[in-house]
Amino acid sequence: MYLHGTSRVNEAGQLVIGGTEAAELAKRFGTPLYVYDEALIRQTIRAYKAAFEKSGLRYDIAYASKAFCTMAMCRLVADEGLSIDVVSGGEMYTALKANFPPERIHFHGNNKTPDEIEQALEAGIGLFVVDSFHELQLLGALATEKGLVADIELRLSPGVEVHTHEYISTGQEDSKFGFSIAKGTARQAVEQALQTKGVRLVGIHCHIGSQIFETEGFKTAVARMAEFYVMSQRELGAADLSILNVGGGFGIRYTAEDDPLEPVAYIDAITEAVKAEFTRLGTEYPEVAIEPGRSIVGPAGTTLYTIGSTKDIPGVRKYVSVDGGMADNPRPALYQAVYEAMIANRADEEPTELVSIAGKACESGDMLIWDVKLPTVQAGDILAVSCTGAYNYSMASNYNRMVRPAVVFVQEGEADVVVKRETKDDLIKGDVIPARFLDGVYSK
């Protein structure tokens, strides 16, 4: 298993994360357990900032909170000086409750509801990324009603196809997101935005997809967006335009086969492309904005499970079952995502056996890893699955009425619970038995 951040194997053969043995964390907090290496999160954020500083361009980094949204994470992001991107009233509420400065919150989403827009306007959210004509009209009307002017970016689709899973590719023409540059709707959106009371067009935005390993797609997107930006200023009179937002999507190493670039390489490619394009077009450089999610939290997360039953089908495969699965990590089932794992309490032992890791949900597709080499496992061993920090906790469910695991942040030998493990009472807290069901139901 690739060891990210502060993860290492100590002399006692134990996996250690953030200065604490993983098996000790499992004992203290129970399993399944999401463990986050806080130092690695901060280090990645600082690497993005340093790469931009080097470029000399004005910049804004918004953490895409959909990857992992909790109050502690929002606090950390605020402390590191980033902005934050939210895509729902729930994410916005979490950030606001964590005292995230509202002016540094960016509100995304292809179907923001009137309630969510009102909530955002009342909270003083700094930026709306507008995704449709419907939203433009709704936001303009609601802002005007309140005597406000909302700063907006328009989400455009630059028609860039990238090599990633089709469910996480977003910049292509055939997408539910954004106004198409090629089809002319982006131009109409700028024209309409400039005539809409209650909004001020400050930027254009695109996001070409997620888990992208090369820089070509970003460079193409920058070139198309730059042309459009300058056209909007010169031909359409978009005088307040000053931000070019190229979204997130920077790839990470889930397995040894993955070969992502360092954050700095993506930023260098983007900032160099911005400079080249804007110089060619003869216009002042814009502020460059990005929205990384996965790359900030993905490698920092490890999920710990306790191994239970095994089933050996001679000549076929050996199934090793853990006490979690698709409820805490739906990504293998959804995207055929591949993960690596190790036995945390015997991390120095040679992997000798090829096994497959099964979850405990009542579902054949609940497989966390097909074919991973481990030392011979025993019930009670702690399995560590690496690189589970992005879109795992945030996409977790209560399928089969499983409780969501706790989340701990570890650093320098300290471990803090940032999300408590759900209880069985949490599972039924919204349940209501209609009074008419109770009348004599057991007496019939």
> Which residue numbers are catalytic?
362
State in angstroms the smallest separation of the CB of 293 from ligand LYS. Answer: 7
User: What is the Cα–Cα distance from 360 to 355, expressed in whole angstroms?
Assistant: 16
Please pick, from the candidates 18, 32, 249, 301, the single residue that binds ligand PLP as defined by CB under 6 A.
Answer: 249
Site mask, ligand LYS, residues 165-184, x = CB under 6 A?
Answer: ---x-x--------------
Residues in 395-414 at the binding interface with ligand LYS, rule: CB under 6 A? 395
DSSP state of 404: P
State in angstroms the smallest separation of the CB of 391 from ligand LYS. Answer: 3
Which residue type occupies 383? L
Q: Does 254 bind ligand LYS (CB under 6 A)?
A: no
Q: Does 66 bind ligand LYS (CB under 6 A)?
A: yes
Per the annotation, does 291 bind a ligand? Answer: yes
* Residues ≥6 apart with Cβ < 8 Å to 16: 6, 7, 8, 9, 10, 22
What, of ligand LYS, ligand PLP, none, does residue 69 touch, CB below 5 to 8 Å by kind?
none
Per the annotation, does 234 bind a ligand? Answer: no
DSSP state of 376: P
Q: Which is nearer to ligand PLP, 158 or 247 (CB)?
A: 247
Please pick, from the candidates 157, 210, 233, 392, the single residue that binds ligand PLP as defined by CB under 6 A.
Answer: 210
State in angstroms the smallest separation of the CB of 164 from ligand LYS. Answer: 9
Q: Which is nearer to ligand PLP, 108 or 346 (CB)?
A: 108
Residues in 257-316 at the binding interface with ligand LYS, rule: CB under 6 A? none
Summary count for the chain: helices (H), strands (E): 13, 21
Give every strand in the sheet of 20-21, ordered side by side.
Answer: 8-9, 15-17, 20-21
What, of ligand LYS, ligand PLP, none, does residue 108 touch, CB below 5 to 8 Å by kind?
ligand PLP
What, of ligand LYS, ligand PLP, none, does residue 331 touch, CB below 5 to 8 Å by kind?
ligand LYS
Radius of gyration of the chain (CA): 24
User: What is the Cα–Cα distance from 59 to 254, expressed in whole angstroms?
Assistant: 28
Q: Which is nearer to ligand PLP, 66 or 360 (CB)?
A: 66
What, of ligand PLP, ligand LYS, none, does residue 292 touch, CB below 5 to 8 Å by kind?
ligand PLP
Q: Which stretch binds ligand PLP (CB under 6 A): 52-60, 246-254, 332-340, 431-439?
A: 246-254
- Beta strands, E only, 126-264: 127-130, 150-157, 179-180, 199-205, 243-245
Q: Does 210 bind ligand LYS (CB under 6 A)?
A: yes
What, of ligand PLP, ligand LYS, none, does residue 291 touch, CB below 5 to 8 Å by kind?
ligand PLP
Closest CA to 255 of 378, 340, 358: 340
Q: Does 293 bind ligand PLP (CB under 6 A)?
A: yes
State in angstroms the smallest separation of the CB of 294 from ligand LYS. Answer: 7
Closest CA to 131 of 152, 161, 115, 104: 152
Q: Does 187 bind ligand LYS (CB under 6 A)?
A: no
Please pick, from the candidates 108, 187, 331, 360, the single residue that binds ligand LYS as defined by CB under 6 A.
Answer: 331
State in angstroms the smallest separation of the CB of 277 from ligand PLP. Answer: 21
User: What is the Cα–Cα distance from 90 to 68, expressed in whole angstroms?
Assistant: 13
Count Cβ atoms below 10 Å from residue 441 Cβ, excluding itself: 9
* Residues ≥6 apart with Cβ < 8 Å to 312: 318, 319
State in angstroms the smallest separation of the CB of 161 from ligand PLP. Answer: 15
**Strand 243-245 with 199-205, pairing:** parallel
3-state secondary structure of 354: strand
Which position's Cβ is nearest ligand LYS? 391
Per the annotation, does 292 bind a ligand? Answer: yes
Closest CA to 210 of 133, 291, 279: 291
Closest CA to 356 of 368, 365, 346, 347: 368
User: What is the Cα–Cα distance from 149 to 143, expressed in whole angstroms?
Assistant: 6
3-state helix, strand, coil in the chain (%, to 5): 35, 25, 40
* Residues ≥6 apart with Cβ < 8 Å to 145: 198
- Measure CA of the first residue to CA of the last residue in the chain; give whole Å: 58
Per the annotation, does 294 bind a ligand? Answer: yes
What, of ligand LYS, ligand PLP, none, does residue 249 touch, CB below 5 to 8 Å by kind?
ligand PLP
What does the binding site for ligand PLP look like in residue numbers (CB under 6 A)? 64, 67, 85, 108, 170, 207, 210, 247-250, 291-295
What does the binding site for ligand LYS look like in residue numbers (CB under 6 A)? 66, 168, 170, 210, 331, 335, 391, 395
Query: Which residue ranges make up the annotated binding site?
Result: 249, 291-294, 331, 335, 363, 391
Query: Which residue ranges make up the annotated binding site for substrate?
Result: 294, 331, 335, 363, 391
